[in-house]
Amino acid sequence: MSSAAAIIFDVDGVLLELTAAEEDAFFWAFEKLHRLTGLSRDWDSYRIRNDEDIINEILITHLGRSPTQAEHKAVIDTYLAHLTQGIGARRLTPVQIDGASQLLASLNGKAMLGVATANLIEAAGARLAACGLWEPLKVHAFGANGGGAKLDILARALQRLALPPERVVFIGDNLNDVAAGLGNGVHFIGFSVDEDKCRRLAAAGAQRVCNHHRDTLKHIEEALQI
């Protein structure tokens, strides 16, 4: 490549579909440890859309106080064990977005590839690995670990990459992804297979929007001149 560049992907809605079984694995930990059921599956209903922060918010509401580090860690450990066991036993099958593997293959070697996801990175890695997508992404993978909104997660990624923002593309499918991309000054590509969602991404400020990864590749090549 003529100059160093990086392409950072959100995971859910961009590389993988978030299945109901995967959501259940997350909330099962609260049922197992605290007998909590009926928790909201609307990720936007939580104060900060980040697995670590959502766990903390649910525990504060349930316990009436801030959870101890051990209580917080127990939920994470229970979730990750249940998720990975489900994947290993094929009770739970991650599903990749159409064209995701071809997109990564087309980009491999042209730029650094990575992820910035609000999912715990261990969970994202297990899910991506089950679809054969983890290897090209794992060196530059940033997740919910450490807390914070997507803006903060992407900022941590940029700090580690040590590249000027104009040499980075971030691809996401939610309004908080638009805010993260614009707030960090990188090239942002809004992606969704849902055309209505594409229109909402454009209305929020995404200048590049597409609903198939063959077009994502064109936008990336145009933005980075690779």
Predicted TM-score (pTM) of the model is: 0.95
Local confidence band at 66 (pLDDT 50, 70, 90 cut-offs)? very high
pLDDT digits (tens, 9 = 90+) for 109-164: 999 999 999 999 999 999 999 999 999 999 999 999 999 999 999 999 999 999 99
Angle between helices 69-88 and 20-34 (to 10 degrees): 140
* Residue 162 burial (CB count, 10 A): 8
- Give the contacts of 40 (CB within 8 A, at least 6 positions apart): 46
Given the DSSP bridges, would you call strands 140-142 and 6-9 parallel, antiparallel or unpaired?
unpaired
Token readout for 183 is 């707030």
Domains in the chain (CATH in brackets) are: 6-18+95-224 (3.40.50.1000), 20-88 (1.10.150)
